[in-house]
Each structure stands twice: as C-alpha cells, then as structure tokens.
Amino acid sequence: MDLSNKKWLYVTGCSHIAGSEILTPGDGTLTHAGLQKSFTGLLAEQYKLNLINDALPGAGNEYIMRSAMDFVSTWKRNGRSLDDVLIICAWTTNERVQFVWEKANGKEGHIHWANNQDPEQHKEKFGHDFTNWFKALKIYSTDYYFGLKRRVGNIVLTSNYLDAQGVDHVMLSSCAKLDPTWHEYRVSRTKDPLSRYDHLIEQLPNNYYEPEDSFIEQYWDKEEYKEHISDWLHADAHIHNLYYDKFKTWLEKI
C-alpha cells in the first residue's frame, strides 16, 4: 500500500491500541505521549500522518464497528475526501458489551464492560453500584462462542461498508486470536445456527493482518518478553516497536 498520498490515520480498538500502560505498568491513563509510543503512533510518525485514535479501554467489537462507520459517515457529511485516509480496525475479545447509563450529574455516559471488570471503578463516576448488573451480564449476555460469531460478523460487515465507501483500510486482532478450529471442537457440537461461524471465517477480508494471531498473544507467553507485559497483559513500548516493524513491512507490501 502506498502511504505517500495519505494524510490521516484513523484507528479504533480497545486498550491495547489506546496505549494503556505503555509508559508505566499499572497506569492505564491515556496520554498523547503514550499514543506516540504505540505501534499506530509510530506508523503515523513514520509517514507524517495526522493520528485520530478512537480506541478505548474495555471497548468491544460493536463499538469498534460503530466508531469506524461513524468516523467515515461524519467525514463524508463534512464534505471531506476519504482518498487521503487510512483506517485501522483492531478487533478485540468476544464477550464485551457497551451500555448507556445516566451519570450522577444527569448526563449520559457509555460504559464498556468486559469480563472481570471491577464495579468499584464505576461507582464514583456514575453514582451507582453495578455489582449485580455486571454479574448478570457475565451469566446471561456474554456467551463466548456466540460473541465470536458476533465479532466475525462485525468484521465482515465493517469491511464491506468501508469497501463500499472506497476508503483504504486494514484490520487486525489486538487480542483473542481467531481460530477456526474452535468451531469444530465446541460450536458444531451444539448444532446451533446462532453460534456457527466457520462459514463467516471464510469471508474475512484479504487485508486482515495475521488473522489467526493477535497483537498481544504472540508475546505474552514467551519468557523473553515477560518483563514487557503488565499484570493486565498490556504491552510496553518495546513490544509496540517489535510489532510495528513487522506490521509496517506487511502494510507496505499489500
């Protein structure tokens, strides 16, 4: 891909793409300095692109799909050309849910829920105890394999939408690699068409980087990289550099 004619890099994803803990383990504060050290920030610096990063900690795949569509539709409504834009969609784990809640000040807020999220983090911000609600989500709303089909469906739909809009884009998995054999071992046994996804795997776009691996999973189990992975499984600047080098090489060749 020729990036010499690009001016804008739009990125959406979860905490792995937002730069969480990239500078200091245990500090998930999102900062401009952290984004600059992320692999998308390095890409923007290399090609002198203006970076727009909508990635959010805890964000799920429906958020990633909607944010990409919202960006493109808003960009077009404002009369701007998509010819100088590159979009990166970095898909995340399968079970996450986004819901709306009214804050204590009466304003609407969006909560991005993921398994094992601590409700105490939201009590002060929203003035409400979400403990029972989070338990209910974990039991009833986040079946992993059904979520996997939703995720692959979101990928296919988003890719088709971006193709239809004529905007250059690439995709990758930030975490939770896509493994077609999961279907054979678990989902086929249920014979449930709502959970089947093997046919959708075949519809993944050709511009999906390492579809059967993910950004973080290729590093977190290797002894040589353990000092560069936080307790919350976020990568530091060293890992982002490693990934950037090979991602950039692939991007330039497609």
The CATH number of residue 178's host domain is 3.40.50.1110
- The H or E element that residue 85 is part of is strand 85-91
Indicate the pairing of strand 108-113 with strand 97-102: antiparallel
Per-residue model confidence (pLDDT) at position 192:
59
Whose CA is closest to 167, among 80, 252, 250?
A: 80
In the block, residue with structure tokens 């999220």: 117
pLDDT in tens, 62-114: 999 999 999 999 999 999 999 999 999 999 998 888 888 877 677 777 777 77
Could you give the CA distance from residue 194 to residue 33 in angstroms, rounded to a whole number?
Answer: 43
Whether 166 and 231 map to the same domain: the answer is yes
SS3 109: strand
SS3 139: helix
Do the beta carbons of residue 92 and residue 175 sit within 8 Å? yes
Could you give the CA distance from residue 34 to residue 27 in angstroms, rounded to a whole number?
Answer: 11
Whether 215 and 199 map to the same domain: the answer is yes
Could you give the CA distance from residue 123 to residue 62 in angstroms, rounded to a whole number?
Answer: 24
Q: Rg of the Cα trace of the chain?
A: 18
Residue 1 located in a structural domain: no
Strand order in the sheet with 85-91: 50-53, 8-12, 85-91, 168-173, 208-209
Could you give the CA distance from residue 157 to residue 205 in angstroms, rounded to a whole number?
Answer: 10
Joined together, the tokens standing for residue 188 give 């086929």
Whether 52 and 71 map to the same domain: the answer is yes
Whether 82 and 135 map to the same domain: the answer is no
Which of 141, 167, 194 delimits the end of a domain?
Answer: 141
pLDDT in tens, 133-144: 888 888 777 777
Whether 165 and 71 map to the same domain: the answer is yes
Residue type, 115: N
* 172 pLDDT more than 90: yes
Q: What is the DSSP track for 107-150?
A: -EEEEEE-TT--THHHHHHHSS--HHHHHHIIIII--HHHHHHH
pLDDT in tens, 177-226: 887 666 565 555 455 555 566 677 778 899 999 988 999 999 998 999 99
Per-residue model confidence (pLDDT) at position 186:
55
Residue 3 located in a structural domain: no
**Mean pLDDT score, 156-173:** 97
- pLDDT higher for 124 or 150? 150
Which of 106, 141, 176 delimits the end of a domain?
Answer: 141
Whether 202 and 149 map to the same domain: the answer is yes
Residue 53 located in a structural domain: yes
Residue 63 located in a structural domain: yes
Whether 108 and 227 map to the same domain: the answer is no
Per-residue model confidence (pLDDT) at position 133:
86
Which of 123, 141, 159 delimits the end of a domain?
Answer: 141
Domain that holds residue 116: 98-141
Whether 169 and 220 map to the same domain: the answer is yes
pLDDT in tens, 40-68: 999 999 999 999 999 998 899 999 999 99
What is the domain count for the chain? 2
In the block, residue with structure tokens 């691996």: 213
Per-residue model confidence (pLDDT) at position 183:
58
Residue 24 located in a structural domain: yes
Whether 116 and 80 map to the same domain: the answer is no
Residue 78 located in a structural domain: yes
Q: What is the pTM of this model?
A: 0.89
Do the beta carbons of residue 195 and residue 145 sit within 8 Å? yes
Whether 181 and 66 map to the same domain: the answer is yes
Q: Longest C-alpha distance within the chain, in Å? A: 51
Joined together, the tokens standing for residue 53 give 């990063």
Whether 152 and 90 map to the same domain: the answer is yes
